[in-house]
Amino acid sequence: ISVDAQAALAEMKRADSQARMVSGHFPLSCVEEAGGHWHTFTLLRHPLDRVLSALKRQSDRDSGETMQSIYNNPLRFHLLFDNHMVKMLGVAPDEIDVGIFSPVRPERRHLDRAMAALQQCDVIGVQEDFDAFCQRLECTFDWTLGERLAVNRASEHDVPDELVERIRADNQLDLELYACALQILGLAADEHGRPTA
């Protein structure tokens, strides 16, 4: 099943739950709050690419708005763009509200918790090395995932340099978390923090 944070938590706490997997964009601390034994895995994406992709999706839906105006919207910024990976991996159980709608503003303590969470996940990966992530899932969980679909790609082209730099500055915690994931995976990074071939 794929659900929001509150529904995920409720399903995970049910003793008679038949759920074999609970997936979605909700805080990893739902696992801690639910109790019991859960296997966890997460896929991270370079923060700049993640934000640009989300901006593109939003601008495709709202053709009258520019990426810059969408990024400047305080509600959208908080929900979609502000160190989102640190938020999902780093909020504590007592900070869980309603998933991505949590009022928590990511801080250094959330980054520390998120980095520790990466160490505890059964499988982690990065989108730029998606095939290796899928192979780790198959080996760890004895799954057969089948043919890989095209992964979501983002580009800095046609995005004002000023916006790119703002996204980098605003998402420093996510950039540090992503660098931690690359280190755990043994992947070298280029000058922009992306994995090298």
User: Distance between CA 164 and CA 22 in Å, rounded?
Assistant: 34
Q: How confident is the model at residue 1 (pLDDT cuts 50, 70, 90)?
A: very low
Q: Which of 71, 179, 195, 55 has its CA nearest to residue 130?
A: 195
pLDDT grade for 4, boundaries at 50, 70 and 90? low
The amino acid at residue 178 is: Y
Contact 172, 109 (CB under 8 A): no
By percentage, how much of the chain surpasses pLDDT 90?
A: 55
Cα-based angle 191, 151, 147 (whole degrees, multiple of 5): 130
**Tokens 């990065």, residue located:** 126
> What are the residue ranges spanned by the domains of the chain?
40-185
Q: What pLDDT shows up at residue 106?
A: 94
84 phi, psi to nearest 5 deg: -65, -40
More confident residue, 63 or 91: 91
